[in-house]
């Protein structure tokens, strides 16, 4: 029997929507469903259900947010709303009621809970409202006896005067009954019978729904318990007949032995190669140390560092000379009338030093004093060539010369980022610039200092880049190529 009422169920679980929807349909309610809170809000823009059952935990907007949106809209704020969820506890119920929900139903809801909520919301007609006004008439006292009723349900007309005489209080009520025609009494009796039958039928239908729902819930619970017990039962142990062990074969043992020997041989060969590589590196380091020791113990010549040697063709249109020994000794006196020096020592620039500065400037001052004493006229050409070093580090933290024992292939960079980052103006110190200007002034413009960037010209060839090449061997050559060659070019 349809009640004309409509309910909206909002739940992302299809089974939950089906179970609750069937219960509501048994009570005569039309049921609409929504899989999410967003879909429910879209539904409420066009429809107005009589009650909303809202789940709490859903993808996207949850139940509490949906309740706030519904209660915040004046068009839907008056719709009764119940939270239909598995959440429990007084705190949750208080939060739901504070947001506007009229109650909370558990997911394992019973038909009796549903009917109770529907009666409270007046969505089901109260059974007492189906009674006719005949049930509200005052009952005669027990001592007055029972009014005789005819076979068709009508009061016996012959007994009415006796009831009026025996009970004066009922005389006034009985008089209108006697004035009613038999047809009216028959119609009244038929209506009374129909009302009683309808009440009994509704009561039986409600009891039948309750019994069916109870048995259905009991059957589900019983089925779940049976399935759980079946799953917990250990599987039956099937005793298999004993299987005879197959005869042992020799080839699996041989194959296992080969598989064990081959990796051992490979590892042994790799270990031997590693030892040989270590010995080769040790021999190279020993040779480098011997070379460095020999260079350190070599005696320095007493002759002037600016003694001329045999000329070789130069790249600047003038005679150039091979570099002499290191110019750390004081210059020798120049005899009068002697020719000016045409060569100066080669100065090696450590990585990270400004080329034209430091001890190299002191050597240049010594050479300039000698040239001034001889009234020399011409140029002092300082050619700076760049060496590429094996460096470790990073652009952020800076680069430094690598450890000599480090293999060359493990260098972070091979180059000279310090020189590459310096603009031409910063490759000369302030003292060098002042010296060049002072010398030009003292000589009356006769002597000019010319600094030339020779670029990456490998005067000494770098070693071949192999697996055994170390950073020490490479940087030894790079330090020899990172140099300043001083040449004296007379004026024409």
Q: Which residues, listed in sequence order, are joined to residue 415 by a DSSP beta bridge?
A: 389
In contact, 356 and 432? CB cutoff 8 Å: yes
CA distance 292 to 285: 10
- CA 331 from chain centre, in angstroms, equals 71
The dihedral sign for the CA sequence 255, 257, 263, 266: negative
Give the per-residue SS3 of 399-429: EEECCCCCEHHHCCEEECHHHHHCCHHHHEC
Residue 50: what pLDDT? 93
CA distance 313 to 331: 26
Residue 219: what pLDDT? 77
pLDDT tens, position by position, 302-345: 333 333 333 333 332 333 333 333 333 333 333 334 444 444 57
- Fold for domain 311-490? 60s Ribosomal Protein L30; Chain: A; (3.30.1330)
Domain ranges across the chain? 6-128, 311-490
CATH superfamily of 6-128: Response regulator (3.40.50.2300)
Residue 105: what pLDDT? 87
All residue ranges of the chain with pLDDT < 70 are: 1, 126-180, 206, 209-210, 213-214, 217, 232-240, 243, 246, 296, 298-344, 425
Total-model pTM: 0.33
Residue 217: what pLDDT? 67
Query: β-pairing, 320-321 with 311-312?
Result: antiparallel
Give the per-residue SS3 of 352-396: CCCCECCHHHHHHHHHHHHHHHCCCCEEEEEEEECCCEEEEEECC
In contact, 286 and 476? CB cutoff 8 Å: no
Residue 171: what pLDDT? 41
């Amino acid at each position: 029997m349809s009640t004309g009422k409509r309910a909206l169920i909002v739940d992302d679980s299809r089974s939950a929507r089906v179970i609750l929807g069937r219960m509501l349909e048994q009570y005569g309610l039309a049921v609409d469903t929504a899989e999410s809170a967003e879909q429910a809000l879209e539904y409420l823009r066009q429809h107005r259900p009589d009650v909303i059952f809202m789940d709490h935990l859903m993808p996207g907007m949850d139940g509490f947010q949906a309740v706030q949106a519904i209660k915040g809209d004046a068009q839907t704020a008056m719709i009764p709303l119940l939270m239909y969820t598995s959440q429990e506890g007084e705190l949750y119920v208080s939060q739901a009621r504070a947001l506007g929900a009229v109650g909370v139903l558990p997911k394992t809801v019973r038909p009796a809970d549903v009917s109770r909520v529907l009666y409270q919301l007046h969505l089901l007609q109260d059974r007492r409202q189906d009674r006719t006004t005949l049930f509200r008439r005052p009952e005669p006292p027990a001592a007055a006896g029972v009014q005789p009723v005819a076979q068709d349900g009508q009061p016996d007309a012959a007994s009415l005067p006796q009831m009026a005489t025996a009970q004066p209080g009922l005389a006034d009520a009985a008089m209108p009954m006697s004035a009613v025609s038999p047809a009216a009494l028959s119609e009244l009796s038929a209506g009374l019978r129909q009302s009683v039958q309808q009440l009994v039928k509704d009561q039986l239908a409600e009891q039948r729904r309750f019994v069916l729902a109870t048995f259905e819930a009991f059957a589900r619970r019983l089925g779940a318990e049976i399935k759980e017990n079946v799953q917990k039962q250990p599987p039956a142990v099937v005793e298999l007949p004993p299987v005879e062990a197959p005869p042992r074969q020799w080839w699996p043992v041989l194959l296992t032995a080969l598989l064990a020997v081959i990796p051992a041989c490979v590892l042994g060969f790799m270990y031997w190669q590693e030892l040989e590589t270590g010995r080769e590196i040790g021999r190279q380091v020993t040779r480098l140390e011997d070379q460095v020791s020999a260079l350190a113990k070599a005696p320095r010549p007493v002759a002037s560092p600016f003694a001329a040697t045999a000329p070789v063709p130069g790249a600047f249109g003038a005679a150039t000379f091979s570099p002499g020994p290191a110019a750390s000794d004081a210059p020798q006196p120049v005899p009068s009338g002697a020719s000016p020096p045409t060569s100066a020592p080669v100065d090696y620039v450590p990585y990270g030093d400004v080329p034209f500065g430091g001890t190299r400037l002191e050597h240049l001052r010594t050479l300039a004093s000698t040239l001034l004493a001889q009234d020399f006229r011409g140029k002092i050409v300082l050619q700076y060539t760049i060496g590429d070093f094996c460096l470790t580090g990073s652009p952020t933290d800076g680069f430094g010369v690598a450890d000599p024992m480090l293999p060359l292939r493990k260098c972070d960079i091979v180059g000279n980022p310090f020189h590459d980052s310096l603009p031409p103006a910063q490759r000369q110190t302030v003292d060098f610039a002042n010296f060049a200007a002072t010398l030009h002034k003292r000589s009356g413009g006769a002597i000019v200092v010319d600094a030339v960037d020779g670029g990456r010209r490998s005067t000494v060839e770098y070693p071949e880049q192999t697996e055994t090449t170390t950073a020490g061997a490479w940087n030894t050559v790079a330090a020899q190529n990172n140099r300043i060659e001083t040449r004296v070019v007379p004026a024409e």
